[in-house]
Structure 1
Amino acid sequence: MHIDFSRISAGDGEALADFLAGEEWPYHAGRQDRETVLRFAAEGRYDDGETRTFWVLANGERAGLVKLQDLADDTPMFDLRVRQAWRGRGLGAAAVAWLTGYLFTELPDVLRIEGTTRQDNHAMRAVFRKSGYAKEAHYREAWPAPDGTRHDAVGYAILRRDWLSGTVTPPGWDDEPKVPLT
């Protein structure tokens, strides 16, 4: 399978709306409203000074979408979506490897990259680990689902120095002061 990445263009509003509104995204906010996507695309919310969005092309087909956010900050974040028909084929890992290299190469002021997923999104959590990202946060009941249930959210990040050296530096989880409760 050949995987490539192509930055969206100003004329991609309809394609973005079809892509985002055309499927359920079980670990996102559900199906997106087509008119909202069209409005956001027309307003430039998918590609501006803070955001860049790329198609994930698998054998020439639009199989996924990578949205890079907070690009003026030294810690950007990303949103990754892979179409149902393409899940489980390695696109997520390829996309995270690509976006990590892209951000650290294209934006020299980026020190770290963050991503968050639902606790029960085991595939994405495996992609984070495989890609050299360290678990840094666990937010209890922080991710509301469309049906009203709340899920834990888990945050991962990679440091530029870890990416350069091919290592993973875990956070110091045992840093709580030993103070007696009163």
Structure 2
Amino acid sequence: MDIAFRRLLPYDTEPLVRFLTGESWPLHSVSEVDGDTARQWIAEGRFESEENRSFWILAPEEPVGLVRLMDLADDTPLFDLRLRAGHRGRGIGREAVTWLTRYLFEEFPHIRRIEGTTRQDNHPMRRVFLRCGYAKEAHYRDAWPDRDGTLHDTVGYAILRRDWLSGRVTLPRWDDEPDGRGPGR
């Protein structure tokens, strides 16, 4: 599928509100967004500010998703990816993460790594991370509360600039506990 990316513009407020409120986002920390909340987020600069940039994912001209880049002054920014339900499972997530990774490393020379987190049960996003060269770096138990109070594990992924440049993924050392001791030993 041919997709393009377009940065949010000031006149995108109402289309962005419709996008956020018109879908359920079951694997995001706020799964149901109402209009007042969406407008508050926009006014607070969550989507566009010195620290944040957001881009429509267009296929071909219709907004099918949104990429939000956060903490851009930091050397380790984060991102949020949202795809409309009818466009999930078509490879758009992989294309979007490939694009945002290249964009961040090329546009911001001070960035040395990019991080993202998802719920443990978000298997499609976890596959996207791995296919885009991100390494699993963290697993936080009972760290993502759901609307109903259920706690889910959160999984953290990152890509290093040097890995992106070389095309190789360097994995964290998971066997580095002192004296080979784990919990309770």
TM range (shorter): over 0.9
Structure 2-normalised TM-score? 0.95
Q: Count residues in correspondence.
A: 182
The alignment status of 1:2 with 2:2, answered yes or no, reads yes
The alignment status of 1:94 with 2:101, answered yes or no, reads no
Quote the residue 1:12 is aligned against.
12
- Which amino acid letter does the alignment assign opposite residue 133 of structure 1? Y
Q: Deviations over 1:127-155 (max 9, x none)?
A: 00000000000000000111110100000
- 1:95-114 residue pairs with structure 2 within 5 A? 95-114=96-115
- Which amino acid letter does the alignment assign opposite residue 26 of structure 2? P
Whole-angstrom distance in 2 between the partners of 1:89 and 1:174: 36
User: Shift in Å at residue 39 of structure 1?
Assistant: 2.4
User: Shift in Å at residue 45 of structure 1?
Assistant: 2.6
When structure 1 is superposed on structure 2, of 64-73 and 29-38 the one drifting more is 29-38
Indicate how the Cα distance of structure 1 residues 150 and 168 shifts in structure 2: closer, same or farther if over 3 A, else same. same
Report the 3-state secondary structure (helix = DSSP H, G, I; strand = E; otherwise coil) of the residue aligned with 2:51.
coil
Quote the residue 1:30 is aligned against.
31
Gaps of 5+ in 1: none
Whole-angstrom distance in 2 between the partners of 1:179 and 1:6: 49
Indicate how the Cα distance of structure 1 residues 19 and 158 shifts in structure 2: closer, same or farther if over 3 A, else same. same
The alignment status of 1:120 with 2:121, answered yes or no, reads yes
- Which amino acid letter does the alignment assign opposite residue 42 of structure 2? A
User: Shift in Å at residue 43 of structure 1?
Assistant: 3.7
Q: Deviations over 1:4-53 (max 9, x none)?
A: 00000111111111111111111012111211211222343311110000
Quote the residue 2:75 is aligned against.
74
Report the 3-state secondary structure (helix = DSSP H, G, I; strand = E; otherwise coil) of the residue aligned with 1:78.
strand
* Structure 1 stretches of at least 4 aligned residues deviating more than 4 Å after TM superposition: 179-182
Quote the residue 1:83 is aligned against.
84
